[in-house]
Amino acid sequence: MKKVKKIPVFKNEDEERSFWSNHDASDYVVWDKSEKVRFSNLKPTTKVISLRLPEYILDELKLLAHKQDVPYQSLIKIFLKDRINQELR
């Protein structure tokens, strides 16, 4: 097994950024033993789109959203994500 180097302690982000721009992370990390991490508090980047819906669909969405006490646009995102996950399975 390859010996990994110890990651130095940095004084600030600029120093760390400079270090990593000149060093290969594979010398400092054993990627085979790495674990996935989820940063759940980070807000995903969003993009504004225009979506035309029949009025009755929008009314039904608003009704459902009201029953669940969530904004209707958030409910649309939830529905879309659920369907995307279903289609990708």
Q: What is the pLDDT of residue 45?
A: 83
User: What is the arithmetic mean of pLDDT over 40-65?
Assistant: 92
Residue 1: per-residue pLDDT: 65
Q: Residue 81: which pLDDT band, with cuts at 50, 70 and 90?
A: very high
pLDDT: which is higher, 7 or 33 = 7
Give the Cα separation of 32 and 25 in Å (integer).
13
Q: What integer pLDDT is reported at residue 26 of this predicted model?
A: 87
Domains and CATH numbers, the chain: 1-35 (no CATH), 39-89 (1.10.1220)
Rounded-to-integer distance, Cα 8 and Cα 10, Å: 6
The pLDDT value recorded for residue 57 is 97
